[in-house]
Amino acid sequence: IFDPSANRGDDPFLPTPTAGPRPTVGIVVGHWGFPDDDVGATCPDGLTEMGVNLEIATHTQAILQKEGFTVDLLREYDDDLQGYKAVALVSIHADSCLPLGDEATGFKVARALATARPDKANRLVSCLYSRYSEITGLPFHAGITPDMTSYHGFEEIHSETAAAIIETGFLFNNRQILTKQPDLIAQGIADGVLCYIRNEDASLPEPTLDE
């Protein structure tokens, strides 16, 4: 269970030992409530990115709630994203369901290129990278795109809220783990968030934008 007396520092966006509301984590469900019913990547049999994202996000919410956090599940263009304040925010997505070859496997994680607190965002990304790869066994995929680093949600939330976006895997090549073990995928994300909040070591290089 989360110990509010640990790692409190002087940061108002990290938990303090004083009595009050439980610290909050935001989880954005990619393509949930997207305009024009865009459900993201779609497989020939009807499996959708949005459905996979929602399942994983729900498991992530449950894990972090058990750790003592208030966890908001947010839609892609949720009104609550405007000025949103939280210890951390993670936007969950999945990648293509097209047969793009054996290299189309693994996860991606990134922060905004422009952020008021790159130190916090970098640490969150490193924690997600470290814990997600360890828990899921999925490789890191280097194809970080401008759609990730310029993700709209980064511009809407409060500047002090540490945020990252994760593509949990490819719906074609990683379908088995994404659909059959959403609890494992969620554990990787939750452990990354906890690593960040608890200031645990995650000595890995930050993923960089492809040239």
In which residue are the tokens 């609550």 written? 80
- What is the overall mean pLDDT for the chain? 89
| pTM, two decimal places | 0.87
Residue pair 34/77 in contact (Cβ under 8 Å)? The answer is: yes
DSSP state of 67: T
pLDDT in tens, 15-61: 554 455 789 999 999 999 988 889 999 999 999 999 999 999 999 99
- The string of pLDDT tens digits covering residues 51-101 is 999 999 999 999 999 999 999 999 999 999 999 999 999 999 999 999 999
Helix ranges (DSSP H) in the chain: 49-66, 118-136, 146-149, 152-156, 175-180, 182-197
Res. 2: pLDDT tops 70:
no
pLDDT of residue 53: 98
Q: Is 88 helix (H, G, I), strand (E, B) or coil?
A: strand
